[in-house]
Amino acid sequence: MAGSIRQDSFNRKLALTSVELIKDMGGHATWIDLADFPMPLYNGDLEASQGLPDNAARLQTIFLEHDGLMLASPEYNGFFTPLLKNTIDWLSRPNPEKQNQPRVFNHLVAGLSATSGGRLGGLRGLIPLRTLLSGIGTTVVATQLAVPEAQHKFQGEVLTDKESRDQLANVVKAVLACEIHK
Ligand SMILES: Cc1cc2nc3c(=O)[nH]c(=O)nc-3n(C[C@H](O)[C@H](O)[C@H](O)COP(=O)(O)O)c2cc1C
């Protein structure tokens, strides 16, 4: 899943590369495009009157069918994106229509990645993202990847920079290898 829904998003391409690598390593992956799951900005009054948005409930179901999450997020002013924060906020809420449904984040293992045109490649945004996910019970693997100068590292839809691909493969490997007690 990527933290950007921009059509030509580099992070979308990075997340799609993770899907490819997971499959190459014999794993099963589902590509989640957040453009397919629009949600209103979280508002407690809205939640109290209408419950979870349908798209949040749909995404919760998809998350619960998976053990791991590979994320690629742009960095906006040193942080991960508001789109990602809003999505995580909604998904972290209980679904009043499914009283016995487990919470989605404390069964997950996550691997983090980022890319930007800058020299740090979005690295700063991964720090608060790691803090957030760890705080809601997700096991975030230590290995991560930030790809600087994105405009030189992709050709078309493909991450072509070998060093970045190898490091992304290491993140994917760590997620696939990580077992957590549910
Ligand atoms: C509001 C805003 C703030 C940004 N701040 C940063 C930043 O702090 N560091 C950085 O490397 N890039 C920053 N950028 C540039 C984005 O990381 C860059 O446009 C990136 O390609 C966006 O991701 P995407 O291609 O996946 O949509 C910022 C962009 C926007 C719109």
Query: CATH number of the domain at 10-177, please?
Result: 3.40.50.360
Ligand 1 centroid – CA 179 distance (Å): 33
Q: Which atom of ligand 1 is nearest to the CA of 73?
A: 26
pLDDT score, position 107: 83
Q: Are 64 and 101 in contact (CB under 8 A)?
A: yes
Please tell me the residue having the least CA distance from ligand 1 atom 23: 74
Q: What separation, in Å, do the N-terminal and C-terminal C-alpha atoms of the chain show?
A: 22
* Ranges of the chain whose pLDDT falls below 50: none
pLDDT tens digits, one per residue of 51-72: 999 999 999 999 999 999 999 9
| Rounded Cα–Cα distance for residues 46 and 36 (Å) | 21
Domain ranges of the chain: 10-177
pLDDT score, position 73: 98
For the chain, the average pLDDT equals: 96
Q: Using a 6 Å cutoff on CB, does residue 6 contact ligand 1?
A: yes
pLDDT score, position 182: 52
